[in-house]
Structure 1
Amino acid sequence: MTTTDPDRTTPATTPARVVEVRYFAAAAEAAGCDAEQVDVPAGTTVGGLLDALVARHGPALRDVAARCALLVDGVLHRDRDEQVGAPDRVDVLPPFAGG
C-alpha cells in the first residue's frame, strides 16, 4: 500500500526562465531564424546555453557559435563556465567585418 505524507515536502525546483534569443548575420542563417524563445534553467552557463542552441539547430550553428560573442542583457560573456543568470535577452553575434 502506498501512502502520501502531507508533512513531507519535495524540494522545489527552480523553473526555467523563458528568454528571447536573437541571432545576427551568420548566426541567424545557421539557426534558420532571427529570434526565438528558449527555456533557460537556473544555473545555466554560457557553454550550456550555446550547447543547447546547437542541439536545437545542428552543426551549422555549432561552427558559427564557436566564433560568436554572447551578449546577455547587453553584457558580453565569453567564458563558457560563466553562469548567464536570469536574463531577459541573449544576443548571438558572429564576428563582424567592415570598413
Structure 2
Amino acid sequence: MGVNTVVRVRYFAGARAAAGVHEEEVSLPHGATVADAVTSIAARHGDGLARVLAAASFLLDGVAVRDRATPVPHGTGLDVLPPFAGG
C-alpha cells in the first residue's frame, strides 16, 4: 500500500539516557519489523543508543518480542528495555 507505519517508541533507563528522549514517534515503511525499527532508531540517535539496542529487549504493546522479524503494526507501542543490573 505504500503508507508508512507510525510506531510510538518508549525508552527506559540507559536507553532513555542514550536516546536523549523518553518517547518519540517513528515513521517506518509499511510492513516494517522490529529489526527495521531498531535500525531506524539507532541511525537516528547514534552509536551510544546502537550499543544499548544490541543488548536490549523489546516489548510490542506490552508483549515480549522473541523474534526481531516480528511485524510492527501501525499505531503500536515499542518499549526499549536495556539490560538491568541489580537485585
CA RMSD of the aligned region, Å? 1.4
Which AA in structure 2 matches 1:22? R
Q: State the AA in 2 paired with 1:51.
A: T
Measured after TM superposition, the shift of residue 19 of structure 1 is 1.9
Q: Tell me if the contact between 2:13 and 2:81 (Cα under 8 Å) persists in the aligned partners.
A: yes
Selected match of 2:44 from 53, 56, 63 = 56
Structure 2 gap segments, 5+ residues each: none
Counting matched residue pairs gives: 87
8 Å Cα contact 2:5-2:73 kept in structure 1: no
Moved more, 76-85 or 19-28: 76-85
Aligned match of 2:35: 47
* Bigger CA radius of gyration: 1
Match of 1:84?
72
CA–CA separation in structure 2 for the residues paired with 1:54 and 1:95: 17
Partners in 2 of 1:35 and 1:49 — Cα distance? 14
| Residues in 2 aligned to 1:81 and 1:31: alpha-carbon distance in whole angstroms | 23
Identity %, equivalent residues: 47
Q: Which structure 1 residue ranges, 5 or more long, are not aligned? A: 1-12
User: 85-94 vs 51-60, which deviates more?
Assistant: 85-94
1 or 2 for the larger relative contact order (CA 8 Å, sep ≥6)? 2
Name the TM-score, length of structure 2 as normaliser.
0.88
- CA positional deviation for 1:87: 4.4
